[in-house]
Amino acid sequence: MKPKVPVKIVTWEEIVEWSRGLAEVIEKSGWKPDVIIAVARGGYVPARLLCDFLDVTDLLSVQSQHWVEAAKAAEKAILKFPYKLDLSDLKALIVDDIVDTGDTLILARDFVSKEWRPKELKIAALQWISPVAKIKPDYYYLEVKEWIWFQYPWTRLEDTMQFITRIFREDPRTKGRALSIDEIKSLFMEWYGIKPEDLGFYWDLALRRLVEKGVLVKDGEGFRAGRL
């Protein structure tokens, strides 16, 4: 059966490999940034690795945040901490993990070019989901043709908690009763197409945190929904 939300677990090794690959794409183009701008938080690790592979010392950051607009279901991306800088002598490269809708990167690019005014500005991402993205980055390592949630190693806990919460919010089979660990694991595999075992210690940690937060409540050997 096809999972409801297709997920691929990305390993740290893959991140290093993909960042190295992206650095090579940039090098081969003959262009070199003086400064790298990480889009927080997803762009941090790739940006830091690119600094290493491209021998760039200066690393800055802008942080994007998603706001659910009042009375609208749609989320809007905004920049937190929109501080000013003068980069007019420098060639800058904005780095993110993935270009999905592209909204975050359009926002970051427009902000940096208007407020920081670099001499040149380009965009790089490890992955580009070409059928849905509103922009194509200047540099990318992997083109993704079918939408997937890439479970990056830096959001392992956060994602696992959200995956489990979503099952308890939306799956009718969780309503009004406690579920055993095996039942939760089997729903998890059905929803996301990945095995809880593949998440290593994050699985137990996520369940423990969800109980601490009151999202799940321990019920005998199993769990039931709390404040979802």
Q: Is 104 in the site for ligand ADP (CB under 6 A)?
A: yes
Told to check if 138 binds ligand ADP by CB under 6 A, we report no
Q: How many residues does the chain have?
A: 228
Residues 29-48 that bind ligand ADP (CB under 6 A): 42
CA contacts within 13 A on the Cβ side of 41: 7
Question: Does residue 101 touch ligand ADP according to CB under 6 A?
Answer: yes
Helix/strand/coil for 125: strand
Our CB check for ligand ADP shows the closer of 93 and 225 to be: 93
* Cα angle 167, 172, 175; round to 5: 90
Crossing angle of helices 156-170/181-192, nearest 10°? Answer: 100
Choices 81-89, 101-109, 180-188, 193-201 (CB under 6 A): range interacting with ligand ADP? 101-109
Q: Which stretch binds ligand ADP (CB under 6 A): 19-27, 90-98, 165-173, 204-212?
A: 90-98
Number of residues that bind ligand ADP (CB under 6 A): 14
In whole angstroms, give the CA distance from residue 69 to residue 66: 9
Nearest of 36, 54, 55, 45 to residue 123 by alpha carbon: 36
Q: Is there binding between residue 189 and ligand ADP (CB under 6 A)?
A: no
Per CB under 6 A, the list member of 56, 60, 77, 211 interacting with ligand ADP is 77
- Please report whether residue 98 would count as binding ligand ADP according to CB under 6 A: yes
Torsion-angle region of 200 (φ positive above 0: left; ψ -120 to 50: alpha; else: beta) = left
Q: Are 169 and 123 in contact (CB under 8 A)?
A: no
Give the shortest CB-102-to-ligand ADP separation in angstroms: 4
- Which among 20-28, 93-101, 110-118, 184-192 is the span making contact with ligand ADP, rule CB under 6 A? 93-101
Q: Does 97 bind ligand ADP (CB under 6 A)?
A: yes
Give the β-pairing of 222-225 and 216-219.
Answer: antiparallel
Min dist CB 8 to ligand ADP, Å, is 8
Judged by CB under 6 A, which of 22, 36, 93, 99 binds ligand ADP?
99
Helices (H), 32-179: 44-54, 103-111, 156-170
Residues of this chain that bind ligand ADP (CB under 6 A):
42, 77, 96-105, 149-150
